[in-house]
Amino acid sequence: MRIGEIAALVGVTPRAVRHYHRLGLLPEPGRRANGYREYGIRDAVLLARIRRLAELGLGLDEVGDVLAGDEGRELVDVLEELDADLARQERVVRERRARLAELLAQARSGRLPADGPVSPELAEWLTELGEPGHPGVAAGSPTAAWDREMLTLLDTMVPEAERARMVELLRATAGDAAALYARLDALADTAPDDPRVAETAEALAGIIPAGMAVEVPDDGFADVLFADLAPAQTAAVRQALRLAAERAA
């Protein structure tokens, strides 16, 4: 094979092949009488491995280290590893397409929440929260809007296997949500040492599921998390999370 042929076979550009030669990742092959490089199957396998490792997020220096550890391995071992890499990528693509199919179904039926793409479990819950008369709805509540954003954020952080459980826990507390939103809204113009802060924290801690009871460290993440809350509201939520975490320990 010539350089254009091996590049097309593996799915890279001839320029990339030459770059790998310069870096020493891909040894220079023998040349024909006319001076053109002549590549074989082992060159193609090695080039494919370089590409796969780069696609997995390794820097080219790291790719070189991995390839150095491959010296002496049987060709079948390398091919099997490449096949496993491809299988993982196929699995990721299938999962993404399945997720996209769910989002398309939600969008076509008008069930896709305004908050953006979320898991099917949370999408169903947010749709329920938007239904008139639902006990968890607090129309016009700023803290309700904040809570909705936090749930959307949590949805991206909670492992897929635990999302259904998270929504189940949320449903268990829906009946008290509207009243608590109102109490938090009332703290918007109060001082953090107002007695109502502790009272609201106690009430809020009482409905936080054990699985969601975690203290938030005082760092940059907390600044983002509480950016839309007033100082007294932030104090109440922090105290509530601390109390819930202590009780769950």
Distances (CA, A) of 10 to 13, 51, 119, 215, 231: 9, 8, 36, 49, 57
Is the pLDDT score of 197 beyond 90? yes
Is the pLDDT score of 19 beyond 90? yes
pLDDT at 130: 57
Per residue in 45-70, pLDDT (tens digit) is 889 888 888 877 778 888 888 888 77
Most confident of 68-77, 99-108, 154-163, 231-240: 231-240
**236 within 8 A of 205, measured Cβ to Cβ:** no
**Per-residue b or e along 170-195, where b marks 16 or more CB atoms closer than 10 Å to that residue's CB:** beebbeebbebbebbbebeebeeebe
> Position 165: which residue type?
R
Q: In this predicted structure, which of 74-78, 87-91, 111-115, 222-226 has the lowest mean pLDDT?
A: 111-115
Average pLDDT (111-136) is 58
Name the phi and psi angles at 31, rounded to 5: -120, 150
pLDDT at 95: 76
Quote the tokens at residue 197: 């802060």
Per residue in 75-85, pLDDT (tens digit) is 677 677 777 87
Instruction: Share the mean pLDDT of the chain.
Output: 77
Per residue in 136-182, pLDDT (tens digit) is 445 567 887 777 777 776 676 666 666 777 777 677 666 667 788 88
> Position 249: which residue type?
A
- How far is the C-alpha of 201 from the C-alpha of 230, rounded, in Å? 14
**241 within 8 A of 213, measured Cβ to Cβ:** yes
Is the pLDDT score of 232 beyond 90? yes
- How far is the C-alpha of 241 from the C-alpha of 152, rounded, in Å? 18
Global pTM value: 0.46
